[in-house]
């Protein structure tokens, strides 16, 4: 028996903490178009420049993913979250006084983007550390509660813009972002206590297993150098084995020889590239399925995020809606988003579909909504119907996109795997995102941009199919830290 804090007790306070953090720091992203539409129009910023600003923010956020793994190993997620929340609040406050494209890039893209890039790995690791068996349920609760923000925030921001203009609204949002300190303070470091009962009859068995390197140090021993821990274990094993002189002598000699070999091996000088590869866990890139997962998610995430941020611009141009009507439509979409986050996971549990399959379904739903909007976007009733469709798809994607990587790699490699995913998202964001704005400026309409966005979203399905994610019912990949074979969940083959 190994009692721990996983899946119970303080673990549910982590859900509350992550929800508070998301509600505090995400409004500026969720209502990007609504907040900056008038300022960008007054500054004469084109759709291409708007898309560049938005995706540069995402690139800065994701570029910190490469260092998130080493950072999370060195500092607790509470400290990282506190620093990230402070950075976001300061960046939003500076953005309030940014009245030029370079100033907006420095304040919003760099400072706010860096704060988000610091914060998200901390909250993600906290959730995946505290929850093992109930991870889907916890993630569902978290994203559902986070979805309450977009219901009220568009209406609140619309009122704030009427009374305080863009600068005053951003200063108020900076004050809201400071409340992320409350959530960060609740991210208590995870502790797992293991109780071992060692009897005289199993002393030799336990020590023999340790000599073979099959046990790992727990608790505070994780903080000690590996050579010191191995040497200590070897001495303890020798004392235990001395109780059985015949077997103990031989096994003690074997342990001593192995300790000497380990010490000499660790003293060998390694190249800088090999050290970086091991530290960043770049061996993950050798698995073609993992590469297909992060590439497919990266391209679709760029497309979907761009569309969600540009909804106010799309509705103002295609549907001719004013700011209040746009805020109302965004609130309706948020209500539908909440419904999707609540209902779809329960339905998925009965159907038995995996996170990747449901993520693809959400992409198809968003594509359907954009197609309808581009064809009949001048009808307000149709716009409301599209908001409902896109909201459900967005809620489904929000729940299951955060579970795809944790379902694919073991927990000890999750920080590095998530970090590489963020880096991939950042590169694709700055490389692909502005193209959507270029399509709008070249065609002078958001219709072509919507269709291009749908093509990008569905390219995820093609990449995943090429990567073989649905070709085999059972397979295995070498993704854990000791090159052991980790079984992949059984996939349901789908035809899109």
Cα–Cα distance, 252 to 107 (Å, whole number): 62
Cα–Cα distance, 105 to 326 (Å, whole number): 26
Residue 440 and residue 52 in contact, taking contact as beta carbons nearer than 8 Å: no
Closest CA to 394 of 331, 494, 314, 305: 305
Give, to the nearest 10 degrees, the angle between helix 113-130 and helix 135-146: 140
Instruction: For residue 36, report the phi and psi dihedrals to the nearest 5 degrees.
Output: -100, 0
What's the pLDDT at 253? 54
Closest CA to 120 of 55, 60, 194, 174: 60
Cα–Cα distance, 177 to 267 (Å, whole number): 47
Strand partners, 458: none
What's the pLDDT at 368? 95
Name the pTM for this structure: 0.66
Closest CA to 129 of 257, 11, 220, 260: 11
| Tens of each residue's pLDDT in the chain, 496 residues | 344 567 677 888 999 999 999 999 999 988 998 999 889 988 899 888 998 999 899 888 877 766 766 777 778 888 889 999 999 999 999 999 999 999 999 999 999 999 998 888 888 888 888 887 777 778 778 877 887 888 889 999 999 999 999 999 999 999 999 999 999 999 888 765 543 433 344 443 333 333 333 333 343 334 344 444 444 444 444 444 444 444 545 555 555 555 545 555 555 555 776 766 766 677 888 888 888 888 999 999 999 988 988 899 899 888 889 888 999 999 999 999 888 888 888 888 787 778 888 899 999 999 999 999 999 988 999 999 999 999 999 989 988 887 888 877 887 787 778 778 878 888 888 898 899 989 988 988 889 999 999 999 999 988 888 876 654 333 334 444 444 434 444 333 333 2
Please provide the distance, in angstroms rounded to a whole number, between the alpha carbons at the two ends of the chain. Answer: 45
Cα–Cα distance, 157 to 266 (Å, whole number): 58
329 CB contacts (<8 Å, ≥6 apart)? Answer: 311, 315, 321, 383, 384, 387
- Distances from the Cα of 108 to the Cα of 36, 426, 482, angstroms: 11, 15, 41
For tokens 């406050």, what's the residue?
A: 93
């Amino acid at each position: 028996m190994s009692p721990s804090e996983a899946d119970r007790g303080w673990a549910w306070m982590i859900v509350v903490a992550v929800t508070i953090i998301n509600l505090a720091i995400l409004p500026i992203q969720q209502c990007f178009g609504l907040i900056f539409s008038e300022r960008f129009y007054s500054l004469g910023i084109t759709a291409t420049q708007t898309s560049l600003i938005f995706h540069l923010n995402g690139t800065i956020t994701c570029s910190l993913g490469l260092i998130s793994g080493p950072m999370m190993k060195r500092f607790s997620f509470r400290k990282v979250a506190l620093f990230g929340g402070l950075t976001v609040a300061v960046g939003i406050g500076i953005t309030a006084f940014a009245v030029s494209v370079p100033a907006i890039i420095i304040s919003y893209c760099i400072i706010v983007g860096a704060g988000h890039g610091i914060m998200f790995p901390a909250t993600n690791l906290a959730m995946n550390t505290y929850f093992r068996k109930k991870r889907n349920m916890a993630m569902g609760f978290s994203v559902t509660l986070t979805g309450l923000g977009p219901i009220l925030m568009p209406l609140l921001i619309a009122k704030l813009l009427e009374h305080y203009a863009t600068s005053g609204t951003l200063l108020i949002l900076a004050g809201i972002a400071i409340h992320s300190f409350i959530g960060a303070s609740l991210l208590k470091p995870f502790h797992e206590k293991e109780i071992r009962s060692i009897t005289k009859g199993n002393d030799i068995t336990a020590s023999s297993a340790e000599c073979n390197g099959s046990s790992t140090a727990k608790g505070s021993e994780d903080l000690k150098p590996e050579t010191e821990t191995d040497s200590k274990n070897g001495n303890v094993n020798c004392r235990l084995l001395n109780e059985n002189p015949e077997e103990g002598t031989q096994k003690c000699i074997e342990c001593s020889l192995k300790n000497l070999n380990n010490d000499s091996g660790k003293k060998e000088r390694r190249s800088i590239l090999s050290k970086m590869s091991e530290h960043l866990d770049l061996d993950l890139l050798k698995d073609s399925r993992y590469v297909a997962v992060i590439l497919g998610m990266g391209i679709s995430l760029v497309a979907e995020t761009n569309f969600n941020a540009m909804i106010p611009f799309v509705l103002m141009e295609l549907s001719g809606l004013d700011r209040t009507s746009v805020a109302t439509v965004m609130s309706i979409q948020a209500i539908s988003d909440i419904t999707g986050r609540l209902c779809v996971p329960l339905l998925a549990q009965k159907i038995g579909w995996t996170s990747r399959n449901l993520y693809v379904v959400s992409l198809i739903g968003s594509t359907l909504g954009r197609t309808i909007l581009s064809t009949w976007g001048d009808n307000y009733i149709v716009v409301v119907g599209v908001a409902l469709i896109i909201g459900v798809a967005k809620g489904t994607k929000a729940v299951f996109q955060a579970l795809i990587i944790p379902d694919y790699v073991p927990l000890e490699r999750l920080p590095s795997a998530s970090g590489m995913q963020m880096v991939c998202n950042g590169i694709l964001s700055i490389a692909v995102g502005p193209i959507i704005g270029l399509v709008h400026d070249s065609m002078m309409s958001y219709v072509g941009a919507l269709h291009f966005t749908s093509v990008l979203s569905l390219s995820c399905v093609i990449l995943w199919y090429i990567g073989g994610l649905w070709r085999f019912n059972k397979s295995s990949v070498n993704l854990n830290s000791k090159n052991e074979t980790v079984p992949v969940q059984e996939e349901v083959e789908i035809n899109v």
